[in-house]
Amino acid sequence: MGEQYSNHNQEQRESKRELDFNKLQRLKENLMKLEKSAIDEVDEATQSMRGSIQAMGFGITPVPQSDDDEQ
């Protein structure tokens, strides 16, 4: 009788562990989607900001590099 009781407890622990693992997998996937969404929003805002800056005539120009650096 003791064996059946310990087997039942073992099965319950394994079942709970599996449920917890699946829950964590879903949480991980949701966090990855949220991260991607946040990055997409920042990229879109950055592009919008660059367009606005250029439309106002304050375009960003690269700084020319001089040959003095090589000497």
Are 59 and 53 contacting, i.e. CB atoms less than 8 angstroms apart? yes
What's the token pair of residue 34?
A: 């949220």
pTM check: above 0.85: no
- What would the pLDDT profile of 53-64 be if each residue is shown by its tens digit? 888 887 666 678
- What would the pLDDT profile of 12-63 be if each residue is shown by its tens digit? 999 999 999 999 999 999 999 999 999 999 999 999 998 888 888 876 666 7
DSSP letters, the chain, are -HHHHHHHHHHHHHHHHHHHHHHHHHHHHHHHHHHHHHHHHHHHHHHHHHHHHHHTT----PPPPPGGGT-
